Amino acid sequence: MTSSTVLLVDDEQNVRSALRRILTSEGHDILQAENAEEALDVLDHNAVKLVISDMRMPGMDGADLLKEVAKTHKGVRRMVLTGYGDLPRAIVAINEGRVHRYLTKPWDNDELKRVVAEELKAERSEQDQDHQIESLRFNVRQLSKMMDISANMLTGTEEMLRYSQYDALIRQQQVMSRFQTPLKTGLVGRVQKRTERVAIDMQLDRDAREVLKLAALLHRLGEFVLPNDLINKCWWDMTDVELQTYQSYPEISTSLIDSVDCELAQIISTHRQYVNGLGFPSIGADATPLAARILCAVTEYEEMILFKGHLMGACAIRKIMLAGSGKCYDENVIAALFRI
């Protein structure tokens, strides 16, 4: 078992002792603090992986403490212990992104062990993702140098410059796909071709089609920093914890795009957003451009064929997509998808 450092924050010594006894038995190194100020000082001087804080404490409460931890120690996972009377505030803290998980008092020991193990696994996964993203960026920079791709050295149309800028990313994705996601080999190409046909049917202008084509070629790039067993799995079959990790891939993909290329970044970042405001990331349907709605419907259609086609058949998949028209998918996009 990998040892991880956990910080317990509670003004009651008996609560800290009980938590310490349970988590020490699981092999974790335990640090303690009896208030928020002491906890922040401990964090400044120790490599803490997870903070578990009581909600109600004198001075700064648990929600505000963990909000501050999120700002100053971004890689640290955050949990809150709360009584039922403080549950509404704990839920608000979770919804606002300040807290990863909460447990109610009195807690169940087995559940506590399980949740702590899941959070520490998530922390390790995030660290691995950060390292892989940096490695991916380094590889892309090296490929770009080898191919002598430089906007200052190129002449031609804006479209040519744009493609040359991302050529190394596209090539890197093709190489990684053959080794990391053999099941999905060719998926990006199929998505790109079908989005192009839908865009033509919907009479998008040439510039819009070119941006969508590039988004279709790059939208899955963020998958390659996720665990291999996760990206080779159908997302409908994932556990809640797996899905939470998987749903980060559009954001990772977007982080690899030139920050000034706002139109392309918006398509990629919102291509799993549904028209009813759900999907991921949940940002509201009004913020989703038409190109992203096209990419969403085509992506999920091709994924259903890939993962479920041998079980369900094309007719059943078509019925699912049609049932989602106006709820998950843009009605006009679905109409075009099944006209082509």
Q: Assign residue 216 the CATH number of its domain.
A: 1.10.3210.10
Assess whether 317 and 226 both reside in one domain.
yes
pLDDT per residue as tens digits for the range 192-213: 999 999 999 999 999 999 999 9
Q: Would the pLDDT of 43 be above 90? A: yes
In 3D, which of 32, 30, 31, 25 has the Cα closest to residue 10? 32
CATH code for the domain in which residue 43 is found: 3.40.50.2300
Do 193 and 318 belong to one domain? yes
pLDDT reported for residue 138: 60
- Specify whether 60 is located in the same domain as 162: no
User: Is there a domain that residue 139 lies in?
Assistant: no
3-state SS track over the chain: CCCCEEEEECCCHHHHHHHHHHHHCCCCEEEEECCHHHHHHHHHHCCCCEEEEECCCCCCCHHHHHHHHHHHCCCCEEEEEECHHHHHHHHHHHHCCCCCEEEECCCCHHHHHHHHHHHHHHHHHHHHHHHHHHHHHHHHHHHHHHCCCCCCCCCCCHHHHHHHHHHHHHHHHHHHHHHHCHHHCCHHHHHHHHHHHHHHHCCCCHHHHHHHHHHHHHCCHHHHHCCHHHHCCCHHHCCHHHHHHHCCHHHHHHHCCCCCCHHHHHHHHCCCECCCCCECCCCCHHHCCHHHHHHHHHHHHHHHHHHHHHHHCHHHHHHHHHHCECCCECHHHHHHHCCC
Same domain, 25 and 108: yes
Q: Are residues 104 and 33 in the same domain?
A: yes
Q: Is the pLDDT of residue 152 over 50?
A: no
Q: Are 271 and 333 within 8 A, CB to CB?
A: no
159 and 102 in one domain? no
pLDDT at 186: 87
Q: What is the pLDDT of residue 336?
A: 97
Q: Is residue 130 part of a domain?
A: no
285 confidence band (pLDDT: 50, 70, 90): low
Residue 70 lies in a domain: yes
Structural domain boundaries, residue 320: 151-337
Give how far the C-alpha of residue 250 lies from the chain's centroid of Cα atoms, to the nearest Å.
Answer: 6
Give the mean model confidence (pLDDT) for residues 142-170: 51
- Cα separation, 12 vs 9, in Å, equals 9
Mean pLDDT of all residues in 211-240 = 86
pLDDT on residue 105: 84
When pLDDT is cut at 50, 70 and 90, the band that residue 270 belongs to is: very high
Which one is predicted more confidently, 176 or 227?
227
What's residue 158's pLDDT? 44
Residue 96: pLDDT band (50, 70, 90) is: low
Higher pLDDT, 197 or 108: 197
What domain count does the chain have?
A: 2
CB 55 within 8 A of CB 86: yes
Is residue 200 domain-resident?
yes
Contact assessment for residue 194 and residue 298, using Cβ atoms and an 8 Å cutoff: yes
pLDDT at residue 288 in the model = 86
d(CA 159, CA 205): 14
- 224 and 182 part of one domain: yes
Mean pLDDT of 279-306: 86
Q: Which among 239, 221, 242 is positioned nearest to 125, based on CA atoms?
A: 242
Q: Judging by beta carbons within 10 Å of its beta carbon (0-12, 13-18, 19+), is residue 58 exposed, middle or buried?
A: exposed
Residue 77 belongs to a domain: yes
Sign of CA dihedral 256, 261, 265, 268: negative
Q: What is the pLDDT of residues 59-85, one digit of tens each?
A: 888 888 988 998 898 889 999 888 866
Residue 145 has pLDDT above 90, yes or no: no
> Band of the pLDDT at 153, cuts 50, 70, 90?
very low
Q: Does the structure show a pLDDT above 70 at 214?
A: yes
**In this structure, are 189 and 86 located in the same domain?**
no
State whether 93 and 161 are in the same domain: no
**Highest-confidence range of 24-38, 136-150, 165-179, by mean pLDDT?**
24-38
**Is residue 81 located within the same domain as residue 176?**
no
Residues 163, 92 share a domain: no
Mean pLDDT of the residues in the chain: 83
92 with 185, same domain: the answer is no
Percentage with pLDDT > 90 across the chain: 44
Distance between CA 335 and CA 340 in Å, rounded? 9
- Mean pLDDT on 266-275: 93
Return the pLDDT at 128: 66
Q: Is residue 13 part of a domain?
A: yes
Q: pLDDT value at position 302?
A: 95
Between 148 and 219, residue with greater pLDDT: 219
- Asked if residue 78 belongs to a domain, the reply is yes
Q: What pLDDT score was predicted for residue 282?
A: 61
Question: Closest Cα to residue 11, out of 37, 35, 31, 42?
Answer: 35
Least confident of 108-122, 147-161, 241-255, 315-329: 147-161
